Amino acid sequence: MDARIPPVLRPDHPPVRRLSALAERFADRVVGDAEGIQVTGITLATADLRAGEVFVAVAGVNRHGAEFARAAQDAGAVAVVTDPAGADLAAEQGLRVPVLVVDDPRALLGAMSAWVYGTGTSGESGAAGADGELGRMPLLLATTGTNGKTSVSHLLEGILQQVGAVTGLSSTAERHIGDQVVVSRLTTPEASEMHALLALMRERGVEAIAVEVSAQALSRHRVDGIVFDVAGFTNLSHDHLDDYADMREYFEAKAPLFQPDRARRGVVSLDTDSGRAIAAGAGIPIVTVGTPAIAQDATAAAAADWVVTIGAELPAYTEFTLSGPGGRALTTRVPVIGPHMAANASLAIVMMLEGGCAWDDIVAALARDGGIRAYLPGRTERVSGDTGPTVFVDFGHSPDAFEKTLAAVRRVTPGRVLMLFGADGDRDASKRLDMGRTAVLGSDILVITDHHPRFEDPASIRRTLIEGARAARPDAEIHEYSPPEAAIVAAVGLVGEGDAILWAGPGHQDYRDIRGVRTPYSARELARAALRDAGWAVPEARQR
């Protein structure tokens, strides 16, 4: 296993369950004897399996997990859960542990994990639930959408902490349990990891948890077994068409989060047509938020339950007013640039309200602190100092994200805007021409470089990005540099005082994926080094 991939987090004192009870609840049949065996966890992976856990073997693209049943047993697994084909493979290995046979183990993984860790809702988990012997589950807040879900999750965490809550976080960038920070593996962990993480957070006294939920998480059962207290929706734009046939299928992957088996209440942004469709099709109570200044339909956004009005926009913050029912209104600041970030912050505030936080407590905390206090790693993150070009590092990697972030940078930049970016290899290639087009239309200078080439030819990826840019602006100033270490040095040399660089794509990530190898890499540190070498003073790297 790659040493740079963080371990799965589990509760320090997991509940102890009876394997026979697990079998009775979930298994179609059992090979062997399940009586008298205790279970303390559940996992899909042999690499981090712990003694006392159940190994769930699912069919993969190339191999079946049951091929590793013997390895799981040797690592301390007390049982194997698999499908009929997996049971046949397990039988060939002469296992001593029982095999629980189910029709579709991945589809049951969330429910089994909720049962094992006692993280299901009260009365549904089959063990200690939301109000059982393990204690009440924390407030669960989920955010989905193409862009902004990581930002909303971190903003939720920040504002919750400002009102005095002990928080947990699961986002693309990081996992947080109180003050502990762990780099994330996936946007949303596998169901077994997700429930183990929730159990650990509950064990450590976390009161509210912000969870980023991707479309893939819903499609691939990663949040099964969880009913969120509040689900939030940001937007939907061109992305992930390597996983979904078209935008309709992509939309339909996200929509189930707003049904009663997934969430109790929803907060939906009306800034896009997709938000209005989510609200119309939801099976739970919905509250809406709109930002007319950036909405596809300003009239529809202005008719939302809560309306966001943009105030001052400066490199250090964006001011906004959130107005809602009963004459309630607050004016505050979010510590990043752009009206889209004010929209994200407003969505977070309304999600907290719907989750039971008091309006007066939120208003008082934001007034006391002079605005929202939150760190959004790699989300339009300013890494430069007070002199020289302003450099922002951002995780955005879709045309819509480029458009919104470039517009935000433009509004706070007196000089030229340089856009530096690359594209993922082995991911949705259909958006690359649009990425090039959007980038060149929103910038004065364009620098194309590499991102995660994976197993694709990086030169071919760059050619497509340049093709999209040239088609939109044949006379544009476009440069091509590889690798990105050279590109940022060149970019800094092309700009000066009063100008800005937006380096989109890497954001918070500390590696590049090159032919399956995670190569250490930090856009933030590379940008700071390039600025220092050019003679500009830069601030120290932020320590969380």
The Cα–Cα gap between 115 and 195 comes to 9
Task: Give me 468's structure tokens.
Answer: 């999209």
User: What is the model's pTM?
Assistant: 0.87
Task: Report the pLDDT value the prediction gives residue 120, as an integer from 0 to 100.
Answer: 81
Give the C-alpha distances (Å, rounded to integers) separating 57 from 20, 101, 105, 214.
Answer: 18, 10, 7, 23
Average pLDDT, the chain: 92
Annotate 157-180 with three-state secondary structure.
HHHHHHCCCCEEEECCCEEEECCE
Task: Report the pLDDT value the prediction gives residue 541, as an integer from 0 to 100.
Answer: 76
In contact, 380 and 338? CB cutoff 8 Å:
yes
Written as one letter, the residue type at 131 is D
Give the model confidence (pLDDT) of 20-54 as tens digits. 999 999 999 999 999 999 999 999 999 889 999 99
Higher pLDDT, 127 or 81: 81
Give the C-alpha distances (Å, rounded to integers) separating 375 from 143, 383, 389, 523, 542.
Answer: 17, 13, 22, 17, 9
Separate counts of helices (H) and strands (E) for the chain: 17, 26
Of residues 420, 504, 432, 503, the one with CA closest to residue 461: 432
Give the model confidence (pLDDT) of 471-514 as tens digits. 999 999 999 999 999 999 999 999 999 999 999 988 778 889 89
SS3 (DSSP) at 72: helix
Task: Report the pLDDT value the prediction gives residue 186, as an integer from 0 to 100.
Answer: 54
SS3 (DSSP) at 433: helix
Task: Report the pLDDT value the prediction gives residue 397, as an integer from 0 to 100.
Answer: 83
* DSSP per-residue codes, 96-140: SS-EEE-S-HHHHHHHHHHHHHT-SPTTTSSSS-TTSTT-PPPEE
**Would you say residue 172 has pLDDT above 90?**
no
Of residues 123, 127, 151, the one with CA closest to residue 21: 127
Task: Report the pLDDT value the prediction gives residue 247, as an integer from 0 to 100.
Answer: 79
The Cα–Cα gap between 411 and 424 comes to 28
**Would you say residue 169 has pLDDT above 60?**
yes
**Which residue ranges form the domains of the chain, and what is each CATH number?**
17-117 (3.40.1390.10), 139-369 (3.40.1190.10), 381-533 (3.90.190.20)
Cis peptide before 474 (omega within 30 of 0): no
Handedness of CA 404, 499, 542, 398 (dihedral sign): positive
Q: Write out the H or E segment, with its range, that includes residue 514.
A: strand 511-514
* DSSP per-residue codes, 460-516: HHHHHHHHHHHHH-TT-EEEE-SSHHHHHHHHHHT--TT-EEEEES-TT--EEEETT
Please compute, for residue 60, the number of CA atoms within 13 A of its CA located in the half-sphere on the CB side. Answer: 11
Residue 290 — pLDDT band, cuts 50, 70, 90? very high
Give the model confidence (pLDDT) of 425-481 as tens digits. 988 899 999 999 999 999 999 999 999 999 999 999 999 999 999 999 999 999 999
Cis peptide before 414 (omega within 30 of 0): no
The Cα–Cα gap between 238 and 242 comes to 11
Q: Write out the H or E segment, with its range, that includes residue 461.
A: helix 458-472
**Would you say residue 299 has pLDDT above 90?**
yes
